[in-house]
């Protein structure tokens, strides 16, 4: 990697799995993070120096140099925020790994997963932008995390999982683990029987996985500081267009907050879920129409049940029907 280690983005989700193991409750987990001066929100961006300092501090706090391997393997993946929830809700292990590869840039930019399938096995390599001394815990933690993801698929046969990372040892994993071989390596590597790629994930939610992975692939959110809640909700609504209608219930599940709490927080920011949906539909409707989409296609993409419903909504936004709007505009490419 040629990028300097002070120029890329890391989200606080990197700390949440390890810190959770140091506490037996959510409150104690937050206290642990605060004691290390780390953000308690997994979606919040932190600088590289804080990240590296936090990795070292958590290890010292645990009193175990191998702590990050354990953290990666037994943590709740969904506690990593949108990144983890998208992986958990994937339909198959293959889908989960594809989400992990593409969305890793949201969780930690300039890291890379390489996935290849040959000789009836799936092979995965992990590369980060740190030097060997700085990156040892990051590689350990990430390989443990990936091992956890693989083991969250339905293991209907012996997957023959092999894993390698710095200071790798079978003692890092429970005796009943399906991981057959662990070895020491400077880089992170996992391989397993390719048939496992078709296995269902334990928390399959195809709609949630698709919308969250689209959200994570939005380049604009990868470089921003923690946005307002209404901006996050707007991003999820945008990501749902063309997939399926996205509801308040879907949003509360994605954010892991109660619906009433979500509504109250949006109200404190001067808006509501319904207003956000209408605003996003309005913006996207003009973009799609000007890009050459038909009224029927635009209506369907935005989740309206009928063309007439869309036309009535559009008239309320613009003071004219979609067909009249198009006659008043010069066709142009969508952004």
Instruction: Provide the token pair at 173.
Output: 């994993």
**Cβ neighbours of residue 118 closer than 8 Å, sequence gap 6 or more:** none
Structural tokens at position 252: 């509360």
User: Per residue in 137-180, pLDDT tens?
Assistant: 999 999 999 999 999 998 888 899 999 999 999 888 888 888 88
Check pLDDT > 80 for residue 225.
no
The CA distance from 179 to 202, in Å, is 18
The closest of 254, 221, 24 to 105, measured between CA atoms, is: 221
**What is the per-residue pLDDT across 171-193, written as a single tens digit (0 to 9) for each?**
888 888 888 899 999 889 999 99
Q: How far is CA 11 from CA 15, 17, 184, 286, 310, in A?
A: 9, 13, 27, 34, 38
Q: H-type helices in 9-118, by residue range?
A: 13-21, 26-35, 48-62, 67-74, 82-88, 93-107
pLDDT of residue 41: 86
Residue 282 Cα to chain centre, angstroms: 27
The pLDDT value recorded for residue 215 is: 93
Q: For position 283, what pLDDT does the model report?
A: 95
pLDDT tops 90 at residue 96:
yes
So what's the pLDDT on residue 204? 87
Q: How much is the mean pLDDT over the chain?
A: 89
- The C-alpha atoms of residue 36 and residue 42 are separated, in whole angstroms, by 14
Say which DSSP state 7 is in. Answer: S
Tokens of 129: 């932008």
**pLDDT score recorded for residue 156:** 84
Sign of CA dihedral 283, 287, 290, 294: negative
* Of 200, 190, 243, 236, residue with least CA distance to 217: 236
Which tokens belong to 331? 């066709």
For residue range 31-79, list pLDDT tens digits in order: 989 888 888 888 888 888 888 888 888 888 888 878 888 888 888 888 8
Task: Over range 305-332, report the average pLDDT.
Answer: 87
Provide the 10 A C-beta neighbour count for residue 266.
21
pLDDT at 4: 55
Model confidence band, residue 231 (pLDDT cutoffs 50, 70, 90): very high
Strands (E) in the chain, as ranges, are 10-11, 45-46, 112-118, 121-127, 161-165, 179-184, 188-193
Instruction: Give the model's confidence band at 330: pLDDT under 50 very low, under 70 low, under 90 confident, else very high.
Output: low
Confidence band for 221, pLDDT divided at 50, 70 and 90: confident
Model confidence at 3, pLDDT cuts 50, 70, 90, reads: very low
4-8, 111-115, 207-211: least confident range: 4-8
List residues bridging with 112 in a β-sheet. Answer: 127
Dihedral sign from CA coordinates of 328, 331, 334, 335:
negative
Asked if the model's pLDDT at residue 107 lies above 50, the reply is yes
Instruction: Give the C-alpha separation, 305 to 141, whole Å.
Output: 46
């Amino acid at each position: 990697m040629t990028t300097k280690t002070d120029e890329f983005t890391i989200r606080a989700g990197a700390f949440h799995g390890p810190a959770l193991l140091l506490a037996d409750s959510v409150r104690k987990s937050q206290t642990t993070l605060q004691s290390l001066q780390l953000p308690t929100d997994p979606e919040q961006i932190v600088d590289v120096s804080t990240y590296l300092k936090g990795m070292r501090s958590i290890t010292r706090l645990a009193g175990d140099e191998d702590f990050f391997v354990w953290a990666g393997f037994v943590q709740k993946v969904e506690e990593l925020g949108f990144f983890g929830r998208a992986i958990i809700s994937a339909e198959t292990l293959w889908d989960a790994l594809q989400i992990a590869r593409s969305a890793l840039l949201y969780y930690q930019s300039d890291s890379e997963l390489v996935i290849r399938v040959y000789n009836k096995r799936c092979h995965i390599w992990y590369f980060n932008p740190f030097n060997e001394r700085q990156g040892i815990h990051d590689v350990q933690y990430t390989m443990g995390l990936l091992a956890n993801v693989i083991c969250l698929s339905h293991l209907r046969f012996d997957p023959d999982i092999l894993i390698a990372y710095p200071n790798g040892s079978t003692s890092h994993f429970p005796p009943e683990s399906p991981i057959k071989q662990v070895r020491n390596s400077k880089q992170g590597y996992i391989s397993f029987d390719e048939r496992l790629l078709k296995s269902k994930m334990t928390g399959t939610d195809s709609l949630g996985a698709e919308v969250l992975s689209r959200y994570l692939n939005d380049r604009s959110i990868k470089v921003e500081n923690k946005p307002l809640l209404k901006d996050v909700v707007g991003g999820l609504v945008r990501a749902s267009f063309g997939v399926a209608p996205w509801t308040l219930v879907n949003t509360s599940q994605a954010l892991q907050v109660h619906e009433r709490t979500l509504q109250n927080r949006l109200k404190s920011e001067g808006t509501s879920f319904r207003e956000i949906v209408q605003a996003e539909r309005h913006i996207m409707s003009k973009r799609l129409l000007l890009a050459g989409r038909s009224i029927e296609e635009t209506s369907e993409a935005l989740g309206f049940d009928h063309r007439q419903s869309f036309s009535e909504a559009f008239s309320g936004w613009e003071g004219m029907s979609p067909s009249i709007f198009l006659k008043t505009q010069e066709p142009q490419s969508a952004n």
